[in-house]
Amino acid sequence: MNEAKFEVWDVFTDTPFTGNPLAIVETDGTWTTAQMQTVAREFNLSETIFLMPPSVAAHTARARIFFPTAEIPFAGHPTIGAAHFLARRDGLTDIVLEEEAGLVPVSIRAGRAQFTAPVRPAPQGGPIAVGICAKALGLAADDIGPHNPQAHAGGPAFAYVPVRSHAALIRARPQEPAWSILMETAGVDSAWLYTPDLKARMFSPTAGIPEDPATGSAAAILASQLLENGDLPDGTTHLTVRQGETMGRASMIEFEADVADGAIHAVRIAGHAMPISRGTIRQP
């Protein structure tokens, strides 16, 4: 029976048993997509990342990332977690991951991993009607704002739904059939809700994720939503996103964006991570 080593890390936190859990599986590069999907479904976490030898020797590892239901080209919390894992295993401070969305350089400094998003985020379609968003989340139309709801993409894609208060954020729940209408209208399978002070929640039930404790890729793509709504000026902007509090898994995502002449030039996401468990899992 063939087995692979794995570790579980809590990501976007420096406190064990908070943040977003991540399964990291070390493989030899021979596993099939179906085998990786089976193992991701077995862990049943928001994401599982599989690390294998890189295609170019100068890079650190090739990485493939899976929801319980499907592979995705890029995600923030697996990138941060895998970088912390590789830094501890190999004594590295600079890492390059070969992800499906492209090369992702990650630096580790003072216990904090930071990556530059491989794809610059951009709007996907126009603004989404407030009424559609409100019905989909069990909220009143007055709860939505002050920004315009809209989908944005940068590898993955999300419907960004601004809510005016913490109370509205806590009340929000996907409501069918309105939820499916929102997803179809936006052309996505996930919605990321945020308050003016950047407390956030992410729902993706059709992808097998009822709620995600921390979504690094959504925090990166937030740059496009902020720019579209006039809230990302030229220069470098530093922000902190807090997610997962309603789940008892408080997470902190650090965001930086470089903007010049009204265009996004780079987005960086940073965070801590903590090892929680390790073991072996059989190859399906």
Distances (CA, A) of 28 to 62, 91, 94, 162: 10, 20, 22, 43
Pairing between β-strand 71-72 and β-strand 61-66 as defined by DSSP bridges: antiparallel
How far apart (Å, rounded) are the C-alpha atoms in residues 203 and 218?
A: 11
Distances (CA, A) of 85 to 40, 89, 268: 18, 6, 19
How far apart (Å, rounded) are the C-alpha atoms in residues 238 and 259?
A: 12
Does the annotation mark 47 as catalytic?
yes
Continuous segment of H or E residues that includes residue 241: strand 235-243
For the chain, what's the residue count? 284
Continuous segment of H or E residues that includes residue 51: strand 48-52
Choose the catalytic residue: 47, 99, 211, 254: 47
User: Catalytic amino acids?
Assistant: 47
